[in-house]
Structure 1
Amino acid sequence: MNGLRRQQWLALGAAAAVGLLVLDWFVVTPLTRAWKVRSERIARLRSDVQQGRLLLQREAALRSRWQSMVTNLLAAEPSTAESQVLRAFERWAGAAQVTITSVRPQWRPGAGNVQTLECRVEAAGSLAALARFLYELERDPLAVKVDALELSTRDDTGSQLSLGLQVSGLVSNAVTRTNRR
């Protein structure tokens, strides 16, 4: 009788072990995995909410910056936009005492209602004058950026330099502008 009792207990223990294993595979592990995924999602949502709060705190500054960008976009009319850029080059060259030898504008279509006016600019002057020219270009609120820059010397001493710039200006037909330069 003792042997039969032992077999029953061993069978019951084996069944309990298999039951616990099945319980682990089909209940505990999926629940643990779901809990971890849920916890990660909650952490992401908390981060998103925190980022949203920070954006709301900076709303006035962001709207002001956006309005400044929209105001300083190039005009939607190609001739007006080119005129704006040419006047800006004259203004920057005058402030820096640089000689602009050529400006070649070219229009590039963009995605949606956005176009880009690319200008290849050749200028000459001293290193200080060219640096001032670049400074004037970068600090101007007009929506242009320098895409490429080439600097080379025009004489043996390096006192006269030649500057080649690839500048692009942004034009958007979808944004309404109130102020224009």
Structure 2
Amino acid sequence: MNLTQRQQWLLLAAVAAVGLLVADRFVLTPLARSWKERSERIVQLRARVHQGRLLLDREASLRARWQNMLANLLPAEPSQAEARLLGAVERWAAVSQVTVTSVRPQWRRAADEAPVLECRVDASGSLAALTRLLYEMERDALAVKVDQLELTARDDTGSQLALGLQVSALVSNAVPRMARR
């Protein structure tokens, strides 16, 4: 088979085009994708390293805050925990000048969860007094969380309000031993 010079050039160009197509599909495109993925991964890792350095810089203050939280958990003894929570409710009520009509503590113990002391608090007062009660609860060092809040008017003008709170408090034995370093 005798090919003319033009046919040889065309054959060479066709083989080169097929070679470039194969190189693009199986070499260049995967390499470019790999390079892009690697670059994105490097950006993510640098961000995580930066975040880790920031945490290390704040380690002392975070540990001090954690120790403060551990110190303000309720004691493991149920009667002591209830007494401490009831004392805190009385303190918050006295500062905020609300009338507490009932306080009902109740223990919640699930098989897979740590014990939690829940407390239903019913109080009444003006809007300013009730907001001050919530502020005092939030500001207090005791580890409590408001789970439910119900606010209803007790009169036609709305000057006297009734507040129903479901509060839960953490108990000290709920914290794993390793976290207490």
Q: Shorter-chain TM-score: what band? A: 0.7 to 0.9
What is the deviation of 1:141? 0.5
On the 8 A contact 1:108/1:117 being kept in 2, the answer is yes
Q: State the match for 2:20 in structure 1.
A: 20
Q: What are structure 2's unaligned runs of at least 5 residues?
A: none
Aligned-residue RMSD, C-alpha: 2.2
Q: State the match for 1:63 in structure 2.
A: 63
Q: State the match for 1:91 in structure 2.
A: 91
TM-score computed with the length of structure 1 as normaliser:
0.88
Q: State the match for 2:7 in structure 1.
A: 7
Percent sequence identity is: 68
CA distance in structure 2 between the partners assigned to 1:15 and 1:157 by the alignment? 91
Q: State the match for 2:126 in structure 1.
A: 126
What is the deviation of 1:112? 5.7
On the 8 A contact 1:153/1:160 being kept in 2, the answer is yes
- Of stretches 102-111 and 18-27 in structure 1, the one that deviates more from structure 2 is 102-111
- SS state of the match for residue 156, structure 2? coil
Residue type of the partner of 1:31?
A: L
For this pair of structures, how many residues does the alignment match?
Answer: 177
Q: State the match for 2:100 in structure 1.
A: 100
On the 8 A contact 1:110/1:116 being kept in 2, the answer is no
CA distance in structure 2 between the partners assigned to 1:15 and 1:145 by the alignment? 74
Cα distance, 1:25–1:154 mapped onto 2, change above 3 Å: same
CA distance in structure 2 between the partners assigned to 1:5 and 1:36 by the alignment? 43
CA distance in structure 2 between the partners assigned to 1:160 and 1:43 by the alignment? 57
What is the deviation of 1:79? 2.1
Cα distance, 1:36–1:109 mapped onto 2, change above 3 Å: farther
The ranges of structure 1 where at least 4 consecutive aligned residues each deviate by more than 4 angstroms after the TM superposition are 110-113, 175-178
TM-score computed with the length of structure 2 as normaliser:
0.88
**Aligned pairs for 1:1-181 within 5 A:** 4-109=4-109, 114-173=114-173, 174-175=175-176
CA distance in structure 1 between the partners assigned to 2:133 and 2:4 by the alignment? 100
CA distance in structure 2 between the partners assigned to 1:113 and 1:149 by the alignment? 23
On the 8 A contact 1:108/1:116 being kept in 2, the answer is yes
- SS state of the match for residue 4, structure 2? helix
CA distance in structure 2 between the partners assigned to 1:166 and 1:67 by the alignment? 26
